[in-house]
């Protein structure tokens, strides 16, 4: 009889502890990378056309043109609020580009992280402002990078 009581007690205790653990996990889900956090971390943030830390992008372009090593992360947000990361690391010769949509809940089977190496970043004037894109990349993933911002009116 004592064995049965001990087994029941241990089973009940296990169920209670398991329940507490599951409640803790659901009450503290993984916090998404917010635009406020991204801005604070120094990311160049494109939140549906509103760009923060644009000066960091402009400095990156100047550094590429002068051959000075630099790296930046551009974080763009989907309509649902999920971040997509565009990392550019210039080593003085090539730009290592990494595209990361692993936190995009709607990316489907194309979700993941991909990288390529590109020789240059080019700009062109558009109706809305200036658009930047990578050129001479070692893979097609380089074509996924475009960054456009509106000209600042005086």
pLDDT at 107 over 80: yes
The H or E element containing residue 11 is helix 2-27
- CB contact at 8 A, 31 and 82: no
Residue 139: C-alpha distances to residues 59, 61, 71, 98 (Å): 26, 22, 20, 11
Where do the domains of the chain lie? 1-30, 35-150
Q: What is the pTM of this model?
A: 0.77
In this prediction, residue 110 has a pLDDT band, given cuts at 50, 70 and 90, of confident
- Cα gap 80→106, rounded to integer Å: 9
Across the range 129-134, mean pLDDT stands at 95
In this prediction, residue 24 has a pLDDT band, given cuts at 50, 70 and 90, of very low
């Amino acid at each position: 009889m004592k064995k049965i009581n001990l087994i029941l007690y241990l089973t009940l205790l296990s169920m209670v502890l398991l329940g507490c653990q599951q409640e803790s996990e659901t009450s503290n889900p993984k916090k998404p990378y917010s635009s406020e956090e991204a801005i604070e971390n120094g990311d160049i943030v494109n939140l549906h056309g509103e760009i923060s830390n644009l000066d960091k992008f402009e400095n990156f372009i100047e550094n590429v043109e002068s051959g000075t090593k630099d790296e930046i992360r551009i974080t763009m947000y989907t309509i649902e609020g999920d971040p997509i990361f565009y990392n550019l690391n210039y080593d003085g010769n090539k730009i290592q580009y990494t595209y990361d949509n692993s936190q995009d809940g709607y990316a489907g089977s194309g979700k993941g992280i991909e990288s390529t190496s590109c020789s240059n970043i080019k700009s062109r004037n558009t109706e809305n402002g200036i658009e930047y894109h990578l050129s001479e990349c070692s893979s097609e993933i380089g074509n996924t990078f475009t960054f456009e911002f509106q000209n600042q009116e005086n």
